[in-house]
Structure 1
């Protein structure tokens, strides 16, 4: 399936965004990130930034969690900081 179809925009619109002709809404950008399986933070992350392996592993594990699991994980992490 094409990315434009996945985010419900025309191929022309996506092409215009890619070429800097049209701006993109945050909502559409979020849909693109969802379709690509990345977060907004990852989208904007400098590729030259090297996270320690344990951080990278944490991020990879977090990507597959459900919203409820993320909520539970955040609560757990908060208890560790206390």
Structure 2
């Protein structure tokens, strides 16, 4: 599944309290282009993505970074601890967790 440019740009534009016309002027691209991208009628090219991101004060890295849901603190501790284990220990832990969860 590809990135939904229109939805991401729309969210960022609203977060920045900009109209499509404002964004188009700052990014120096046509308002119709902004409208078509947000409506999903058109996919932006690399230059357009860069211009829109720049106008929205978002780096390309930030724009393309996948949002990862945060783990609850208890699960985060478990994952952090598991990362320190050897492959054999991880296998034992996996078996233990599976046996515990078979209630």
The alignment's TM-score, normalised by the length of structure 1, stands at: 0.51
Please, which of 31, 41, 44 is the counterpart of residue 21 of structure 1?
Answer: 41
RMSD over aligned Cα atoms? 1.8
User: Could you tell me which of 18, 26, 34 is aligned with 2:54?
Assistant: 34
Shift of 1:40: 0.9
> d(CA) in 1 for partners of 2:27 and 2:69?
28
Selected match of 1:6 from 15, 26, 32: 26
Larger Rg: 1 or 2?
A: 2
TM-score (norm 2): 0.42
Instruction: Work out the number of aligned pairs and report it.
Output: 50
4+ residue runs over 4 A deviation: none
Structure 2 gap segments, 5+ residues each: 1-17, 71-103
Show structure 1 runs of 5+ residues with no match. Answer: 51-82
